[in-house]
């Protein structure tokens, strides 16, 4: 449930400017805009279509967040299928029509043996929150 809440929060953050979203932690680093970040969190993940709007890496708090634009719902669904093919299981998925808007927001929590993903999609925007799975 916590990760699902983060997925929904990611969709709310998708419209923020990088300066606003990064202001929450002094441990954050901002990889280059337009470039898929390469680090321990993203290692082995398929790169989704779209343009990287911004990304944040906070190793002190244990997460990497990546926000993309310019992708269709079809591309989102194809990306989700690719994650399942790569061994991720969906733990929870929720879709909700946004009040007063003509679109649906989709939040999905996935996990494999190494990583947990919280993914949020609204038209043209994808947010991915990645954390490493704790060792038993």
- Rounded to 10 degrees, what is the CA torsion of 53, 127, 39, 60? 110
Reported as a single tens digit per residue, the pLDDT across 65-124 is: 999 999 999 999 999 999 999 999 999 999 998 888 888 899 999 999 899 999 999 999
DSSP for 33-53, written as a single string:
TTS---STTTTTPPPPSSEEE
The pLDDT value given to residue 10 = 44
Reported as a single tens digit per residue, the pLDDT across 1-29 is: 444 444 444 444 444 444 444 444 545 66
Give, in degrees to the nearest 5, the angle at Cα 46 between 25 and 53: 45
């Amino acid at each position: 449930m916590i990760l699902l809440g983060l997925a929904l929060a990611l969709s709310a953050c998708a419209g923020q400017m990088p300066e606003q979203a990064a202001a929450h932690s002094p441990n954050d680093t901002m990889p280059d805009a337009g470039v898929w970040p390469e680090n321990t969190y993203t290692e082995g993940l398929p790169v989704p279509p779209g343009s990287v709007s911004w990304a944040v890496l906070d190793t002190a708090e244990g997460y990497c967040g990546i926000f993309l634009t310019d992708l269709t719902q079809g591309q989102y669904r194809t990306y989700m299928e690719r994650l399942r093919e790569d061994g991720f299981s969906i733990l929870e998925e929720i879709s909700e029509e946004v009040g007063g808007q003509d679109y649906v927001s989709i939040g999905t929590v996935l996990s494999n043996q190494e990583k947990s993903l919280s993914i949020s999609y609204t038209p043209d925007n994808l947010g991915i929150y990645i954390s490493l799975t704790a060792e038993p």
